[in-house]
Structure 1
Amino acid sequence: MVLFGLVLVLLGVCILLAGLFGSGYDSEGGSLTNELINVNMPAEVLFLFGVASGVLILLGLWLMKLGAQRGWKNRKKDRKLSELQEELDRVEAERRGDDDQA
């Protein structure tokens, strides 16, 4: 989940950078152009690219946070299970020691 979130963040950043550095104003036609794909587009489309990249970045950050929390809970649970297993092994060793003495 963390990896998928990171991919979404990178995709959003790439779209944002492409919109920022790949666009320019065509003084002859009076419209915005995108030099990366060489297409004339209105300002609304460029705005929607910005909104989409913002949504992708926020969704990616949220997924990264969710995955990190899940991983932290799993590590905490594994640590608790390890402690319980060590306690059980110790108690069983004591019982075997008592049975051997009797």
Structure 2
Amino acid sequence: MVIGLLLMVLGALAVVAAVFTATGESVEVLGFDVTAVGLYLFGLGSGVAILWGFTISKWGTKRTLRQRREARKLDELQAKLDQREAEQRTDEGSGDRSV
């Protein structure tokens, strides 16, 4: 999930850097002269990084929620099992005294 957020931030920073460094005919991105095709590919790569980061973050969030739900369900089942065992011990203990 952290990797996804990092990719989104890096992609957004790349887009911002390209937008604010472009001046008229010449384009210089992060200190490099870039042609129109290069700028297009730079933007495409940035967009892909943002989408990929969003996808990774979404997948990680779903996975985390599923694990929390499973852990909660296991805790509930463990509590029921503990209660049932305590009831059986109580029943066995009271049965021995009456005999």
Q: Give the structure-2-normalised TM-score.
A: 0.91
Q: Distance in 1 between matches of 2:53 and 2:30?
A: 24
Question: What is the distance in 1 between the residues matched to 2:37 and 2:46?
Answer: 14
Distance 1:10 1:45, change over 3 A: same
What percentage of residue pairs aligned between the two structures are identical? 38
Structure 1 residue runs without a partner (length 5+): 26-30
Q: C-alpha displacement at 1:36, in angstroms?
A: 3.5
What's the CA shift for 1:53? Answer: 0.4
CA distance 1:35–1:100, change in 2 (3 Å): closer
Deviating 4+ runs (over 4 angstroms): none
2:55 counterpart (59, 62, 68): 62
Deviation at 1:42, TM superposition (A): 1.0
Task: Give me the whole-angstrom Cα distance separating, in 2, the residues matched to 1:14 and 1:60.
Answer: 13
Shift of 1:24: 1.3
In the alignment, residue 20 of structure 2 is paired with which amino acid? F
RMSD between aligned residues: 1.1
1:48 deviates by 0.7
- Structure 2: gaps spanning 5 or more residues: none
CA distance in 1, matches of 2:42, 2:56: 21
Match of 1:80 among 55, 73, 76: 73
Q: Does 1:32 align with 2:31?
A: no
Q: TM-score, structure 1 length as denominator?
A: 0.88
